[in-house]
Amino acid sequence: MHLEPPTFPGPAARRTLTFLVLFLIGGCEPQPPARPPNIVYMLADDLGWGELGSYGQTKIRTPNLDALAAEGMRFTQHYAGSPVCAPSRGTLLTGLHTGHAQIRDNFEVGGYPDPDELGQMPLDSGTYTVATMLREAGYVTGAIGKWGLGGRGTLGEPHHQGFDYFFGYLDQQLAHNFWPTHLWRNGERVPLDNPYFHPHQRFEGDDPSDPRAYVRYRGNEYSLDVMADDALAFLDRHAGEPFFLYLPFTVPHLALQVPDSSLVEYEGAFDEEPYLGDRGYLPHWRPFSAYAGMITRMDAHIGRILARLHELGLAENTLVMFSSDNGTTYTGGVDAEYFESSGGLRGLKGSVYEGGVRVPLIARWPGRIEAGAVSDHVSAFWDMMPTFAEAAGVEAPPGIDGVSLLPVLLGAQPGSEHPPLYWEYHGLWNGAQAVRIGRWKGVRLGGHDDPDAPIELYDLDLDPGETTDLAAAHPDVVARIRTVMESRTEARLPEWSFAR
């Protein structure tokens, strides 16, 4: 006879059972179990380390995020999971860096036209994600924005990965267009009042400086606005219960598209020439203003979300965090040099140098996180899972790569140095790896073909711009870094492997 294994209540159910037992035995006046903190995690797309006012930006206005930093803690040495979108999000949701993760690069299944919308390589069925963990802890879990970890009809869709609710783009390629024909809500297509056009077209017209020539590249419902409104509705619906809200915004990832009301904010601010679409993505007659306007518009929506938390009486019991999935892009009309987007760091999106992977991190929890604090603690995306677990009062899953940041957030000094940080990336550089151990950063390029590809070594305490290779002077450090690189597990695709 086959017997099913017993099941046991999760943490939230156990708290409720304890409360009921105390009430029934009448041994004391029962108090309802303490409500764990809400968690709101906001993720920009391709926002560079130097593109917020609180990180030194002077041309782009981000007043709400700057206020968030003033009310909370700003990290100066925080890292994304990868220099590109999908694998970075994968490390965030699973607590595994790209040496152990399922998704180690962008892997497109379909194409750009609506009928070809098949998304990216999906997470496996049964993957234990941050959302799975928090849902088991009694949280309502929602994701609104760009997914990129499994297209329509796959087991990688958010509702198979721990999320009770999803609204936004399943396919990150379709997210290249801010006026899409549709978004997705819980597996159902939601039409928007926008015409279809390919998100990669060159300028077609007689006068590139005439804004009327660009009307064909716009629609009526701007996706960022639609998704921000949906986030407010989520807060309203779930104000009475613990929630985890993941907001992976699509800004400022290209294409350069923004409503005119955001362009007006930068009228006359820049000496700029039209971008004609000759380096990918869509053209724009005021590319600098469009780029700055997109970021400022996102900042305004973040301000609305923070205000709603206050209106609902939730701000004091909500951990709010903001970061970016990788560094600033190098294409499509974006001028990272003009905006000093990397804040003096080397490299951009697609690079495992600091400019590709070091990103902002701001955290606010009134009464728990000291206002105006700045931390140089080294941390990364895969630390979010154990951080959220500790905040929620539950155990993080075994075998992950992350370390909880909660003690640092609450003002304690870390007990020890963070374990080595590791990245690998396969889309450029013929295979790239990077490791950070304390002050040291190792970078190895060309590993797909050359098992003896050299490791560059940089002292980030003295040389955050990674200008001087010290490998010859510190062979012992290089050996430690090589050991970490060689400790990666085998990837599921041969193109995600390195020569031996």
Q: Residue 423: is its pLDDT beyond 70?
A: yes
CA distances from 46 to 156, 207, 242, 271, 297 (A): 23, 30, 30, 23, 15
What is the DSSP-derived secondary structure letter of residue 318? E
Predicted TM-score (pTM) of the model is 0.93
Q: Does residue 331 contact residue 280 with C-beta atoms inside 8 Å?
A: yes
Q: Does residue 316 contact residue 64 with C-beta atoms inside 8 Å?
A: no
Amino acid 1: pLDDT: 36
81 vs 29, more confident: 81
Amino acid 30: pLDDT: 54
Q: Whose structure tokens read 């001028």?
A: 335
Is the four-CA dihedral 359, 247, 70, 389 of positive or negative sign?
negative
Q: What 3-state class would DSSP assign to 239?
A: coil
- Residue 20 to residue 29: CA distance in whole angstroms: 11
Amino acid 20: pLDDT: 46
Q: Convert the pLDDT of each residue in 460-495 to its tens digit.
A: 999 999 999 999 999 999 999 999 999 999 999 999
Q: How many residues does the chain have?
A: 500
Q: Which residues touch 275 (CB under 8 Å, ≥6 apart)?
A: 256, 283, 284, 287, 332, 333
Residue 112 backbone phi and psi in degrees, to 5: -80, -40
Domains within the chain, CATH numbers bracketed: 38-409 (3.40.720.10), 426-496 (3.30.1120.10)
| pLDDT, average across residues 148-158 | 97
Tokens linked to 466:
């990674």
Q: Convert the pLDDT of each residue in 344-356 to its tens digit.
A: 999 999 999 999 9
Q: Convert the pLDDT of each residue in 427-458 to its tens digit.
A: 999 999 999 999 999 999 999 999 999 999 99
- Cβ-based burial of 152 (10 A; exposed 0-12, middle 13-18, buried ≥19): middle
Using 50, 70 and 90 to split pLDDT, how confident is the model at 78?
very high
- Cβ-based burial of 200 (10 A; exposed 0-12, middle 13-18, buried ≥19): middle
- Residue 331 to residue 32: CA distance in whole angstroms: 54
